[in-house]
Amino acid sequence: METVLQLTDVSKAYGAVKALKQVSLTIPKGSVFGILGPNGSGKTTMMSIVLDVLGADTGTYSWFNQSPSSADRKRIGSLLETPNFYHYLSAVDNLKITSAISGRGNDQAIDEVLEIVKLTERKKSKFSAYSLGMKQRLAIAAALLGNPEVLLLDEPTNGLDPVGILEIRELIKRLASKGITIIIASHLLDEVEKICTHVAILKRGNLLTSGPVDEVLSNEDIVEVSAENMDALKSCVGQIPDVLSIKEDNQRLQVHFKAGTAKMEAVNQHCFNHGITLNLLLNKKKSLESKFFELTND
């Protein structure tokens, strides 16, 4: 698979604080790559390094399998941390500067992206007069300008209202279906889970795991069952081979299997054979949230 971005042993320290510790990561072309981590885990630092805003102490990175240069960044639409624009300029004038620097887009493309983020009516207003959500929309418009082949979005739904969040999510899905590579840093797990194909989890500068969402999440299968007689059920499912553990939770049993070994029919059959009729049988994939807490909890 073609690689869009490759990091090799990238480290960065701010004085005594180690923000990134030997992070290595590969982002394949066409993926929607979520970078997760609690506040202060190094997400923004990592993105700043690959955009040449910060210099790495050690390690290297490459875009499109080339040694880093400013030409790479012209191919990447980026939103880093906050919307950064000239306060005294209008949305259109700000995007003209973005366009002139990046070489992406023209006057028509500016109108198009402003339409996508629904700022057309306010396109002549000064940036300083914008609300937080509008500023964020403009930053997204700047990233989208001229259809870059890669989008790098740091907390793209910051400051947006629920409708705005939904719109951005739909937009990202639409762009992803066109084959654009999208890299999203976020602490909103729900957001990442809904749209990402790949995920990396950072904690205090360490990369805990990375890979396709399915692989990262499913090192265990979970089957949720419930019956009238919970004690009998518990002893019954305990006899099923491949069961790793059983947790009782709110009148339900969560039965953990090794990845790929849970067979719903077999569980149902087993219980029935032992005289227990299930009133609930659920194949529960581990949510990204529980995985995230599991990995990032001390």
- The least distance separating another protein from the CB of residue 104, rounded to whole angstroms, comes to 8
For the bound state, the minimum distance from the C-beta of residue 116 to another protein, rounded and expressed in Å, comes to 18
Q: Is 227 helix (H, G, I), strand (E, B) or coil?
A: strand
Contact letters for another protein, residues 25-54 (x by CB under 8 A): -----------------------x--xxxx
88 binds another protein (CB under 8 A): yes
Which residue number, 43 or 291, has a Cβ lying nearer to another protein?
A: 43
Q: List C-alpha distances in Å: 186 to 50, 123, 152, 198.
A: 17, 28, 11, 13
**Whole-number Å distance between alpha carbons of 125 and 94:** 11
Binding to another protein, residues 92-151 (CB under 8 A): 93, 96-98, 100-103, 142
263 binding another protein? (CB under 8 A): no
The first and second tokens of residue 111, run together, are 């109108």
CA distance 285 to 218: 7
Query: Among residues 69, 106, 229, 269, which is the contact residue for another protein, using CB under 8 A?
Result: 69
Angstrom distance (rounded) from CA 108 to CA 114: 10
Of 107, 117, 244, whose CA–CA distance to 175 is shortest?
117
CA neighbor of 157 nearest in space, from 180, 114, 188, 111: 188
Total site size for another protein, rule CB under 8 A: 29
Residue 282 touches another protein, criterion: CB under 8 A: no
Contact residues for another protein, defined by CB under 8 A:
48, 51-55, 69-71, 73-74, 78, 80, 82, 84-89, 93, 96-98, 100-103, 142
